[in-house]
Amino acid sequence: MTSPPSLYRILRLANAVVFAAGLALAFDHSVAAALGRFEGGHHWATGGRVLVLVDRTGDPAWHDATRRAAEVWNRVAGGTGLRLRWETGTGPCEADGPRIGFCLARQADLGDLEHADRQGVARVLLGRSHTAGAVVELCRDCRLDDARRRVIAAHEVGHVLGLPHSPRERSVMHALGGTEAPDAVDRQALRRLYDHVDGEEDCGVLDLEVGALCF
């Protein structure tokens, strides 16, 4: 007959379980952040809110759409410290701090089995607790008219700024892209993300940084 475990051993086991669960959660959050899995809630730090949208598509129709997207969000970003500038460029799309590259991709490369019909995607790179960079891929082979391009461009810029999908059909952040401009709720959500001055950043739960990951 074995004796029951001591209270000390039980507490040690409980602490180990809690620590392992916390570490797993921190690791999952860090990996997800590094890969840009999150749809919203991230934001640009106080000192890095002047963003440059660099259209590398080489397509005049997309140039017009992305330029208009910058104008649309600038109109509602007053008081948040956000300012979007627009320019054209060449070369590959890479996450380059506040310079947001826009490039073309085949529709087959934009989505997955669940979202095979995507016409654009924002790939956001998260740093410690703020956005570290982003690229936006736009559909090369979709048959889109100019109005639809404007909706897609404004929608993906909304994701770059930190806004998630919206259930409201009249919102630019609707999953299917409702309109080419944010509604009142979108504007309020944007202000909630940026209505503060950031303090010193911690890197995850343990304030431990390993490459692009935070723990």
Average pLDDT, the chain: 81
To 5 degrees, how large is the angle CA 65–CA 67–CA 72?
90
What value, to the nearest 5°, has the Cα angle with vertex 187 and ends 185 and 188?
Answer: 65
Of the pLDDT bands very low, low, confident and very high (cuts 50, 70, 90), residue 27 is very low
Homologous superfamily of domain range 46-194: Collagenase (Catalytic Domain) (3.40.390.10)
Q: Give yes or no for a contact between 157 and 137, defined as CB atoms under 8 angstroms apart.
A: no
Quote the CA–CA distance of 195 and 176 in Å, as a whole number: 28
Q: At 13, phi and psi to the nearest 5?
A: -65, -45
Domain boundaries, the chain: 1-35, 46-194
φ/ψ of 212, rounded to 5, equals -90, 0
Average pLDDT over residues 8-28: 47
Segment 56-80, tens digit of pLDDT = 999 999 999 999 999 999 999 988 9
pLDDT per residue as tens digits for the range 104-141 = 999 999 987 677 789 999 999 988 779 999 999 999 99
Considering only residues 73 and 17, tell me which one the structure prediction assigns the higher pLDDT.
73
The tokens describing 43, both together, are 């934001």
- How far is residue 193's CA from residue 174's CA, in Å, rounded to a whole number? 18
What is the amino acid identity at position 108?
A
